[in-house]
Amino acid sequence: EPEVTQTPSHQVTQMGQEVILRCVPISNHLYFYWYRQILGQKVEFLVSFYNNEISEKSEIFDDQFSVERPDGSNFTLKIRSTKLEDSAMYFCASSEGPRFSGETQYFGPGTRLLVL
């Protein structure tokens, strides 16, 4: 069964460093997403991406964050200058699109980011 994959599974970085989290969405899916979950808290939406551009973003997704689809399979989230509060589990998800109702987002296994 096709699935979303994410690399790395864990990343430790120093505050102020740039990190890139990578995702390979399900191959025939058109919509891609990033969510994050701070330890012990609810899952929060960051950004959605369609047709090579951001279609929606939350207030969390500020200028420190960017997303890119560098090739036909990868989808990346970059954090330019990490802060301690960026420590979280980051989930990539994808959905078929473009039909709306009932469209399910399938999540990857997550990347656990720890900023020291």
Partner 1 sequence: AQKITQTQPGMFVQEKEAVTLDCTYDTSDPSYGLFWYKQPSSGEMIFLIYQGSYDQQNATEGRYSLNFQKARKSANLVISASQLGDSAMYFCAMREDTGRRALTFGSGTRLQVQP
Which residues contribute to the site for partner 1 (CB under 8 A)?
31, 33, 35, 41-45, 48, 55-56, 58, 89, 91, 93, 95, 100-110, 112
Tell me the closest approach of the beta carbon of residue 112 to partner 1, in angstroms: 7
CB-nearer residue toward partner 1: 48 or 82: 48
CB-nearer residue toward partner 1: 52 or 104: 104
Tell me the closest approach of the beta carbon of residue 75 to partner 1, in angstroms: 15
Q: CA 9 → CA 60, 69, 87, 101, distances in Å?
A: 22, 19, 13, 31
Q: Is 45 exposed, middle or buried (0-12, 13-18, 19+ CB in 10 A)?
A: middle
Tell me the closest approach of the beta carbon of residue 19 to partner 1, in angstroms: 18
